[in-house]
């Protein structure tokens, strides 16, 4: 009799586990936004995007995403004459781009409510920057200059618009409520053939189906 009870218990547990496994959604759509840095971290800005995920197995999935970034900064060059501000010659730079890519995602933790994921994959990126490829030089006027103005000298030896390919690595966690909606956080790092290292840290929201 004990053997029968044990057998029935094991069967019931198997059915429950099988049912839970098969009730997990197979697809997901998410949106994310957060803060981002570009290069050595001196350019700060925003990252945003959307991604579609298809689960191949319970813990293995593929993601296809579209992401965008925009970063800006300024180097201040102020010219004072007799204690009064004569010219604000600050150099303001903006770098922006968008990319299409895919990630292979592995979720060591995935339940009906919680998911922790490690992901990595390639992307293609378009980018445009107002900063000279070899930087710039700022020249203050000499005391005897007839035109007291700050002069900015740029060196553009590469195109303003560039296309490159790269790789991305990402960590993310999300919590599902009402069976389909989820919120979470993600952190990512990427680098490409142009040497643009970009970080992401933000929030995400989405739906499973």
Does a structural domain hold residue 167? yes
pLDDT score, position 40: 79
pLDDT digits (tens, 9 = 90+) for 35-86: 999 987 779 999 999 999 999 999 999 999 999 999 998 888 887 777 788 7
Question: Does the CA dihedral 39-103-31-188 come out positive or negative?
Answer: negative
The total domain count for the chain is 1
Q: Which of 17, 21, 84, 28 is nearest to 51 (CA)?
A: 28
Does a structural domain hold residue 5? no
Does a structural domain hold residue 38? yes
pLDDT digits (tens, 9 = 90+) for 130-178: 876 567 788 888 777 777 888 888 777 778 899 999 999 999 999 999 9
Structural domain span for residue 39: 26-77+93-129+161-208
CATH number of residue 191's parent domain = 2.40.160.20
DSSP notation for 113-174: SEEEEEEEEEEEEEEEESS-TT-EEEEPPPTT-SS---EEEE---S-SEEEEEEEEEEEEEE
Does a structural domain hold residue 152? no
3-state secondary structure of 181: strand
What residues contact 7, with CB distance under 8 A and at least 6 apart? none
pTM for the whole structure: 0.78
Does a structural domain hold residue 73? yes
20 — pLDDT class (breaks 50, 70, 90): very low
Does a structural domain hold residue 97? yes
pLDDT at 6 over 70: no
Structure tokens at 163: 């296309």
Does a structural domain hold residue 6? no
β-strand pairing of 60-75 with 91-110? antiparallel
């Amino acid at each position: 009799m004990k053997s029968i009870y044990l057998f029935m218990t094991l069967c019931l547990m198997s059915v429950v586990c099988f049912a839970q496994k098969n009730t997990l959604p197979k697809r997901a759509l998410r949106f994310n936004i957060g803060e981002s840095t570009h290069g050595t971290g001196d350019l700060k800005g925003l990252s945003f995007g959307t991604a579609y995920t298809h689960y191949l197995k319970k813990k293995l999935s593929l993601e296809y995403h579209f992401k965008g970034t925009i970063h800006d900064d300024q180097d201040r060059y102020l010219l004072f004459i007799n204690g009064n501000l004569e010219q604000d010659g600050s150099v303001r730079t903006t770098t922006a781009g968008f990319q299409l890519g895919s990630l292979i995602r592995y979720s060591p933790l995935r339940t009906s409510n919680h998911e922790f994921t490690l992901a990595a994959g390639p992307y293609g990126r378009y980018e445009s920057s107002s900063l000279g490829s070899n930087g710039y030089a700022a020249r203050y006027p000499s005391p005897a200059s007839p035109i007291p103005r700050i002069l900015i000298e740029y060196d553009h030896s590469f195109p303003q618009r560039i296309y490159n390919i790269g790789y991305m690595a990402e960590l993310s966690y999300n919590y599902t409520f009402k069976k389909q909606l989820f919120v979470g956080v993600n952190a990512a790092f990427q680098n490409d053939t142009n040497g643009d290292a970009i970080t992401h840290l933000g929030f995400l929201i989405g739906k499973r189906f």
